[in-house]
Structure formats: structure tokens, C-alpha cells
């Protein structure tokens, strides 16, 4: 893959992208914390309370190919500006929906939030655009590490602002989301990533989608990211229900989820170095093993230490699998194929995450009646996906004739 390499420009872009992940990314924590609660407040049917969250993920999945095409044609800055515009608009709609108590309007806002979420997903790819190939794993890890700050900032903003527009609940937090996206407009003015050169007449535009999917490295990279992200979502979504259902307090469930989020992002400070030292395939394999260990820990009991251990391992496994898959994908395509490959990847990844999100509640609540049996069903559901990713990685390792990336 050809890069335009300029050290000062690369550092500048990384600062912008890390800041975006840390500060603008806080809005996703706000949306996921309050989406179900606001849905419960507005929905005429309690069973639909989490529908706003599902629509966020669906919106991200559907907009990923479009967002990638826009970035391929008009550049990263244009795509990210569109993302923060959609994020600010979605929050404004949701504030109005809370004031007018319109569940349908709140769902529209949730879907538009997915457009922002899709754009945020490309921060990690943009990190590779102006760095040398040797620095790609570290650049991806550094940007992903910004998610640690977002996971801290988002909940604190919820605590500080959710009642700012009382008596309307949660509206103050969504007003804060508007401010974050306004900040994003100014932040992305500092981003300078050259647009991909347009394909000239007679030049190849690269491989078709079918050819890309038949490329072993691309197929394995996508499968690895799909499995890591969907398994994390599958188990994490059910965790609060399982913890409370097994007799623990809501605050304990919140502490377990906080430990999980820390485990998702803290390894990002080291994952890039691990990829450089050991190779991307070994890091992905380690991620799959750790995800399996999370499932075994969860199936071994429903004591508080089991929940903590399982969720911490789940976060680390996601980090290795997802960053490893992203790195493998970034190394596997030419600049003119970037829009096609990255849009396809995120469409498939978030499509699987959408299914996992919708399946999690069904497995938890419709698998025998007790929270313990539901929790067991959720973790047993990890097995086929782990087998898929592990088998694909093993096949690639055996058949690949290319050398391990340095």
C-alpha cells in the first residue's frame, strides 16, 4: 500500500484523531448510557425501550459504505465533518423529542446518531493514511486508546448534565452532545489528509468487491473484526441483566461494566507494539483465546468475581481481535481500493454487531426462565463464532505464502 509520508503531518493528524476519539467519542457513551432509559421514558411499550440503541447500530451499519465512498471521493475531512453534523442534528432532534415526548422522533435521532458512529469508526483507518507502514499498528492503537478517555468523559457528562433541563429528563445531556459536535467542526479543520488521487481514464480502479472478499488476508481480517466486536457486544449487552438477575446491586453491575470498558481500551497503549513484535496473526489468535477464556470464566459460575473476570477478559480479547483485524485490513489494499474495502468491512462488522445486539436480549430472557440459564446461553453462543474466526485464522496461517509483516 502506498503512503504519502510526512512526519510532522502524520503527528498533527494523529493528535486530531486521538482528540476526536477521546472527546467526540464521549457522545457514544452518552447515547448508550441514556438510550435505553430515554426509550423507556418515551416508549408506549417497555419491550421497545432499547430500540433507540439498536437503531444507532443499524444506522452505523447502513451508512458505513456511503461514508467510505464519500471519504474516497472527497477526503477524510469531508466525511468527518458530515459525521459531526449528523451527530449534532441527531442530538437536537432527541432534545426536541424529549420535550414533546415523541418516541418516534427519538428513534429518528438514534438512527442519525449511527451516521456519526459510522464516521467515528473510520478514525482508526485515517490514522494509517499519512504514517509509514511500520507505524500503522501503533497509529491505530493510539487512536483507539483515545476511547479510554471517551469512556471516562461520557459517563461524567451524563452525571453533570442529564438534569440540566429539568423537569425534562436527559435533555441536558443531549444538549451537551450538540456542543461536542460543534467542537468537532473546528477540530477537523486542523486535519490534513491528502485525498486519494482520482482514477484516470485507462487506469485500474482496483479489485471488485467480489475479488476483495476472495483475497484471503482481507477475508480473515474482516472475519476477525466481526467476531471480536459482535462477541463483545453480545456478552456486554446482557451483563447488567445477568448481574442484577443473579442478586447483585445495580451499582455493582455498573462497576463491572466500567472494568470491562477499561479492559477494552487500556491495552491499546501496547497492542500496536505487540503486533510489531509478534505479528498481527499471533495477536489476533491471542485475542480469540482470551475471548474463549472469558466465556469459560462466565460459564464457571455467577459469583461477582466470575462476572469481573469474564468482562475484563472480554475487553482485552476484543482489543486484540479488533485492532489486529483492522491492522491486517489496512495492510491488504491499495489506495484506490480504500473506500470499497473499509466501507465493506464496517458494513459487515456492524451488521454482525446489530445481530448480536438483537440476539443478546433474546438469549438472556428466553433460554429457560432464570437469569443463570440465560447467562449460560449467551456465553455458549460464543462458541460457533470463535470456531469460525479460529478456523479462518488457522487456514490463513497454513496456506499463506506471504511473509509476516514487520
Tens of each residue's pLDDT in the chain, 406 residues: 444 456 788 889 999 999 999 999 999 888 877 887 788 789 888 667 778 888 898 899 899 889 988 998 899 999 999 999 999 999 999 999 999 999 999 999 999 999 999 999 999 889 888 888 888 888 888 998 898 898 888 888 888 898 899 899 889 999 999 999 999 999 999 999 888 776 665 566 677 778 888 888 899 999 999 999 999 988 887 787 788 788 887 677 778 877 888 899 889 888 888 999 999 999 999 999 999 999 999 999 989 999 999 999 999 999 999 999 989 998 887 777 877 888 888 889 888 988 887 777 677 766 666 888 888 998 999 999 999 999 999 998 888 755 454 4
Residues 2 and 29 in one domain: yes
Residues 255 and 347 in one domain: yes
Residues 166 and 222 in one domain: no
- Please check whether residue 202 lies inside any domain of the structure: no
Which burial class, exposed, middle or buried, applies to 214 when counting CB atoms under 10 A from its CB (0-12, 13-18, 19+)? exposed
pLDDT for 358 equals 75
pLDDT for 406 equals 42
pLDDT for 290 equals 97
Task: For residue 31, give the CATH number of its domain.
Answer: 1.20.1250.20
- Please check whether residue 342 lies inside any domain of the structure: yes
Greatest pairwise CA separation for the chain in angstroms: 67
DSSP string for residues in 294-338: HHHHHHT--SHHHHHHHHHHHHHHHHHHHHHHHHHHHTSS-GGGH
Exposure on the CB side of residue 311, measured as CA atoms within 13 A: 28
Residues 107 and 190 in one domain: yes
- Please check whether residue 405 lies inside any domain of the structure: no
Rounded CA-CA distance 76/122 in Å is: 9
Rounded CA-CA distance 66/44 in Å is: 33
Residues 394 and 254 in one domain: yes
Residues 267 and 389 in one domain: yes
pLDDT for 4 equals 45
- Choose the final residue of a domain: 194, 221, 254: 194
Per the listing, cell 452525571 goes with 159
pLDDT for 201 equals 58
Residues 82 and 218 in one domain: no
Structural domain including 293 reads 207-400
CB of 378 within 8 A of CB of 368?
Answer: no
- Please check whether residue 364 lies inside any domain of the structure: yes
- Choose the final residue of a domain: 173, 194, 215: 194
- Please check whether residue 200 lies inside any domain of the structure: no
Residues 132 and 155 in one domain: yes
pLDDT for 13 equals 93
Residues 140 and 213 in one domain: no
pLDDT for 405 equals 46
- Choose the final residue of a domain: 194, 219, 237: 194
Residues 350 and 258 in one domain: yes
- Chain centroid offset of residue 97 CA: 26
pLDDT for 5 equals 53
If one counts every other C-beta atom within 10 angstroms of the C-beta of residue 302, the result is: 19
Q: What is the pTM of this model?
A: 0.77
Residues 11 and 110 in one domain: yes
Residues 217 and 189 in one domain: no
Q: How many residues does this entry show for the chain? A: 406
- How many domains does one find in the chain? 2
pLDDT for 403 equals 46
Amino acid at each position: 500500500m502506498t503512503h504519502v509520508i510526512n512526519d510532522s503531518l502524520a503527528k498533527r493528524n494523529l493528535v486530531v484523531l486521538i482528540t476526536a476519539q477521546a472527546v467526540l467519542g464521549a457522545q457514544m457513551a452518552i447515547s448508550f448510557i441514556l438510550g435505553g432509559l430515554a426509550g423507556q421514558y418515551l416508549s408506549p411499550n417497555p419491550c421497545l425501550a432499547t430500540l433507540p440503541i439498536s437503531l444507532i447500530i443499524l444506522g452505523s451499519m447502513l451508512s458505513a459504505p456511503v461514508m467510505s465512498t464519500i471519504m474516497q471521493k472527497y477526503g477524510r475531512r469531508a466525511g468527518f465533518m458530515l459525521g459531526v453534523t449528523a451527530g449534532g442534528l441527531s442530538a437536537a432532534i432527541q432534545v426536541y423529542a424529549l420535550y414533546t415526548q415523541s418516541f418516534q422522533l427519538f428513534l429518528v435521532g438514534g438512527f442519525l446518531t449511527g451516521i456519526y458512529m459510522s464516521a467515528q469508526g473510520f478514525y482508526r483507518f485515517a490514522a494509517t493514511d499519512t504514517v509509514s507502514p511500520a507505524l500503522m499498528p501503533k497509529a491505530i492503537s493510539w487512536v483507539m486508546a483515545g476511547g479510554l478517555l471517551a469512556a471516562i468523559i461520557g459517563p461524567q457528562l451524563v452525571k453533570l448534565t442529564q438534569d440540566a433541563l429539568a423537569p425534562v429528563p436527559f435533555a441536558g445531556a443531549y444538549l451537551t452532545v450538540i456542543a461536542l459536535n460543534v467542537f468537532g467542526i473546528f477540530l477537523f479543520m486542523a486535519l490534513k489528509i491528502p485525498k486519494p488521487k482520482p482514477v484516470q481514464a485507462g487506469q485500474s480502479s482496483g479489485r471488485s468487491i467480489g475479488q476483495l472478499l476472495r483475497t484471503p488476508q482481507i477475508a480473515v481480517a474482516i472475519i476477525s473484526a466481526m467476531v471480536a466486536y459482535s462477541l463483545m457486544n453480545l456478552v456486554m449487552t446482557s451483563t447488567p441483566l445477568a448481574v442484577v438477575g443473579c442478586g447483585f446491586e445495580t451499582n455493582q453491575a455498573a462497576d463491572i461494566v466500567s472494568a470491562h470498558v477499561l479492559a477494552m481500551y487500556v491495552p491499546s497503549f501496547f497492542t500496536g507494539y505487540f503486533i510489531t513484535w509478534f505479528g498481527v496473526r499471533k495477536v489476533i489468535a491471542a485475542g480469540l483465546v482470551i475471548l474463549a477464556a472469558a466465556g469459560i470464566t462466565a460459564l464457571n459460575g455467577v459469583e461477582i468475581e466470575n462476572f469481573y473476570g469474564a468482562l475484563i477478559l472480554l475487553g482485552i480479547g476484543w482489543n486484540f481481535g479488533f485492532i489486529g483485524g483492522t491492522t491486517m485490513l489496512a495492510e491488504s489494499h491499495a489506495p484506490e481500493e480504500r473506500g470499497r474495502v473499509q466501507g465493506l468491512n464496517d458494513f459487515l462488522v456492524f451488521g454482525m454487531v446489530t445481530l448480536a445486539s438483537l440476539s443478546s436480549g433474546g438469549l438472556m430472557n428466553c433460554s429457560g426462565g432464570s437469569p443463570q440459564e440465560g447467562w449460560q446461553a449467551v456465553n455458549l453462543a460464543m462458541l460457533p463464532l470463535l470456531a469460525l474466526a479460529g478456523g479462518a485464522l488457522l487456514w490463513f496461517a497454513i496456506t499463506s505464502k506471504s511473509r509476516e509483516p514487520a
